Structure 1
């Protein structure tokens, strides 16, 4: 299958440190290491320029292979990875970063995130300080967090005096995270959505299907537009080439205000992933 790149059609978000991230990126959660290079290569061919991985995904090496073999100038790409829970702490963060960069085979990283707050471990402040040091050394463009609650963000900002650029959180129509998003908007923290399609569980939702029929688009495209039109960075994931392309083909239509409002009642606070207040995998 051959694709015509539409990378230039992707809007961007200016982060609070002045760096710029594409608003639509590509996630590789649960993509096996032996498949990820091919999957990411397809995404890059389609037009994605932002790739999101994590050390715990076990596929950083394949992501790096796809990036290096793509022929796309490195400055045109935005690569994110995340620090796992077991590696939190100042010195261990420095070691974990080096290990991730060796697997990726890259000279610098565009965005490094603390994967989970793990508040019971009380290490994310020291972790973030290590990331600040890496940023000061020019090894990371932007530093941020993932799955942080308002209380975690407040603790981090108060302790370090630095506001994270991004908080990547579970976010989709049935978990709209309005209160957290409002806090982040007020503090210039960009909101990035993981599992934006609800891991596929929302694609047969009658309300979403109804809006898709009205627009002549797919349910996945409707959900991605719902994110984009609210200023949310969104990183859908698929391993199927046709769906990778479908999820990118969202810039030639818009949802009307009425259609956006029709999706609002779906927000029931339903999580698919873990609760950040108690999640501490890797420390047990």
Structure 2
């Protein structure tokens, strides 16, 4: 089963191939959702300071009944944190909020603050400073692995030129109809694992007639087809749901998409109406940043 399979990061740390995402899950519901996911068999839980649910995620991990060393926890440094001292404080803030003695993977959430996402300033100096704080936390044993999210090639090259550690992960928006192949190949050339958030395009692909027809031929749902597509590209998908039935379905992806169908999926142009998620900058629109815990 996919829930029992792992990738190995560049520093030798093993990371489960399928994660459970918690974006937009309120803190009050996060503990129950995480506990459900772990009971089903998920061993990789993804959160972020910006999600404002680290406390609930930590509660779910601790109360799951599964030993801590069997659960891989990822969180992300606030996109607005672009100084060494602020990042250092926020790393400790995540450890406090999660109430865990270590974090398995911590990422810089974005190369720019959300209000300036993909704008002109690449914040090279600020990202290098924040990266230094992550490197020190890694060396101190607070973090088992470090990486980035939403980083493009130039942003990664900045860290490679100015840091001691290379990023071990880049978490990006990737799904059928919107897969950044050039970036994926670049990351792979640097031994950086690419994680795919919103592998079902925040629901945008579920009503695509072509995907429905293909999924029916495999006897699976469109969501399962899209998650399997990511896995066959050697991406690590992070589907999110509050429904335990869907959690199980999202992990029932032990089938193989044919080469012909994979080629078709690579070239498909699925819908891009991201619904309520469309207001977020990663889906193409800018927004003002929301308050995050431990803003310093």
TM-score between both structures, scaled by the size of structure 2: 0.88
> d(CA) in 2 for partners of 1:46 and 1:240?
11
Match among 268, 274, 279 for residue 281 of structure 2: 274
Q: Secondary structure at the match of 1:87?
A: coil
The RMSD of aligned alpha carbons is: 2.2
Q: Is the 8 A contact 2:197 2:238 kept in 1?
A: yes
Q: What SS is found at the alignment partner of 2:25?
A: coil
Q: Which residue of 2 aligns with 1:26?
A: 20
1:43 aligned partner: 37
Change (3 A) 1:283 1:215: closer
The alpha-carbon distance between structure 1 residues 267 and 45, as it changes in their structure 2 partners (threshold 3 A), is same
| Aligned mate of 2:133, from 107, 130, 133 | 130
Q: Return 104-113 or 12-21, whichever deviates more.
A: 12-21
Cα contact 2:197–2:239 (8 A) shared by 1: yes
1:162-173 matched pairs, under 5 angstroms: 162-173=165-176
CA distance, structure 2, for counterparts of residue 67 and residue 131 of structure 1? 22
How many Å separate the matches in 2 of 1:137 and 1:165? 17
Q: Which runs of 5+ in 1 are unaligned?
A: 1-5
| SS of equivalent to 1:141 | coil
Distance 1:185-1:277 versus aligned 2 partners, 3 A rule: farther
Q: Which runs of 4+ in 1 moved over 6 A?
A: 276-280
User: How far is 1:121 from its partner?
Assistant: 3.8
Q: Shift in Å at residue 278 of structure 1?
A: 10
Contact 2:3/2:17, CA 8 A, preserved across alignment: no
Equivalent pair of 2:224/2:253 in contact (CA under 8 Å): yes
The whole-number CA distance in structure 1 between the counterparts of 2:249 and 2:128 is: 39
Who is 1:147 aligned against? 150
Q: Give the whole-Å Cα distance in 2 for the aligned partners of 1:278 and 1:167.
A: 21
Match for residue 255 of structure 1 among 257, 270, 273? 257
CA gap of 1:207–1:10, structure 2 versus 1, over 3 A, is: farther
Write the distance in 1 (CA, Å) between the matches of 2:64 and 2:241. Answer: 19
Deviations 1:182-235 (A, max 9, x none): 100111010001111000111111221111110011110000100011110111
Change (3 A) 1:53 1:9: closer
In the TM superposition, what is the alpha-carbon distance from 1:85 to its structure 2 partner? Answer: 2.1
Q: Any unmatched runs of 5+ in structure 2? A: 113-120, 292-296
1:4-59 Cα offsets, whole Å, 9 max, x none, are: xx6x7432111111111111000000001111111111111111000000011010
Distance between the aligned counterparts of 1:268 and 1:69, measured in 2?
Answer: 39
Secondary structure in structure 2 of the residue aligned to 1:79: strand
1:63 aligns with 2:57: yes
Do 2:3 and 2:42's aligned partners in 1 also have CA atoms closer than 8 Å?
Answer: no
TM-score by length of 1: 0.92
